[in-house]
Amino acid sequence: MKLNRKRALVTGGSAGIGYAIAWAYAKEGADVAIHYNASEKSAAELKEKIERECGTRAMCIQADLDSDDAIRNMVASVTQTLGRIDILVCCAGIDQKISVSDMTMEDFDRMIRIDLRSVVLCNKLVLPAMLEQGFGRIINVTSQLGQIGGIDTAHYSAAKAGVIAFTKSLAREVGKRGVNVNCIAPGPVDTRMFASNPPEWIARKLGELPLGRIGQAHEVAPAAVLLAADPDGNLFVGQTLGPNCGDVML
């Protein structure tokens, strides 16, 4: 198994892409901490499924990522329970469709706090132990909109672009010390966030995709396994992988 005896924290692990990544990690032998904010039932069901079918350890941890104290408590609790954090996946986030004209600065600030600041703080908090042990994998799940922008998503796109730039910078800082930091920038994926778009927008997007369909969450998870594994992910440093159905080609 590619992640045998590794210990991972996955934020947003109770739903969508985060759920798929947490499950994929457990199947590869990792102990997994499943972060959630409001989806306690889904997180608990995944924990039970992991323990029953994979035989690895799992835990659920609630935290509001709009709170620095909650993030600190989450990382401390996971470290205490699992013993260490070898892999961090920052997948949690929020979305909002609103034009710049209608967007308030409160809208902007909240988006930056949750989709960018919380990622930075999570990365910062796990780093000391990873650097001390000489091994770590940090995977920040961003979005293709951080690469190309999007209508009515300026604050979201700005936050996701910030995640990509932060990831590159941190990767340069710590790559020689055994910690690899990378991004995954999914395109359209069948999640609640995608389904919240207007039907006409969804139909138009489907027509634009070279693959001819949107992705499924379980199709994104292998990229997270690749980046976390040794030796599979050893040469990926500051990269942004794009499982996006061909919507963005770089």
Residue by residue, DSSP assigns 186-217 as --SBSSHHHHTS-HHHHHHHHHH-TTSS-B-H
Under a CB-based contact definition with an 8 Å cutoff, are residues 93 and 72 in contact? no
CA torsion angle for 177, 58, 53, 39 (degrees, to 10)? -110
Element (H, E) at 1: none
d(CA 204, CA 245) in angstroms, rounded, equals: 14
Q: Pick the closest to residue 160 from 204, 96, 211, 66 (CA basis).
A: 96
- 36 as an active site residue: the answer is no
Under a CB-based contact definition with an 8 Å cutoff, are residues 244 and 188 in contact? yes
The catalytic residue among 19, 25, 36, 156 is 156
d(CA 88, CA 122) in angstroms, rounded, equals: 8
HSE, CB side, 13 Å, CA atoms: give it for residue 13. 30
Under a CB-based contact definition with an 8 Å cutoff, are residues 54 and 47 in contact? no
Residues annotated as part of the active site: 156
